[in-house]
Structures are given as C-alpha cells and as structure tokens.
Amino acid sequence: MNKQKKFMVPGSRKRSITIEIAFVLPQQQFLKQFQVPAGTSIYQAIKLSGVENFYPEKDRSALKTGIYGKITSPETILHQNDRIEIYRPLNIDPKEKRRLKSDRLTKG
C-alpha cells in the first residue's frame, strides 16, 4: 500500500521544489534554503524549517507570513524559488516613530 505524506498534493510525490524562509529579529536572523515536496503550504514549510526553535515564543498568532513582501495565507501552496518571509508585529507604527523623532528634534 502506498501512503502519501498528508502535506503532499496527490501526484506530487516525486517532485520537490527549492524554497527559502527568512525571519529577522533585532539582533539576529534565520535564513534557510531547502527543498520541500511540491504542494507544500507555507504553514507546512515553516514547520519543516525548524524556525520555531529560533523563535520559541509561545504565541505565534501575531506573526504574519508573506512571499516576497506580499502578505499571504499560511495555507498558500508554494512554488519553486518562493521566499517565505515571517513578519513580527511592529513595536511602534513607523509614522508615529517619525513624529516622535521630529518632536524631539524641534524641542531639543
């Protein structure tokens, strides 16, 4: 009996694709290029990558994912040479940060 892994799309057993996962923290980064079976989703690739060991936070629900800067669903099926990016929540809105910096410069 031929069992397929549950994260594979039927008929994609023999093909694999090369992808990359990027996740950046203020002082370090995780960047890994590896192969996954064709039909793998973003969520599945993240699980396979080991990035969870790099960012051991309990609540990962605030993290968003994208491919080449475009926000995408974790269920998105990957293609050859996709670069998955994992985005952390912002500590402060960039516009607010510029406003605060401007206020400090005009007062100081």
* Cβ(89)–Cβ(25) below 8 Å: no
Beta-carbon contacts of 34 under 8 Å, excluding residues fewer than 6 positions away, are 18, 19, 20, 21, 48, 49
3 state SS of 44: helix
Diameter of the chain measured on Cα atoms: 75
Q: Indicate if the pLDDT at residue 106 is higher than 70.
A: yes
Residues 44-66 pLDDT 10s: 999 999 988 887 665 666 789 99
**In degrees rounded to 5, what are phi and psi of residue 41?**
-90, 165
Residues 20-44 pLDDT 10s: 999 988 888 999 999 999 999 999 9
Q: Indicate if the pLDDT at residue 82 is higher than 50.
A: yes
* Single pTM value for the model: 0.70
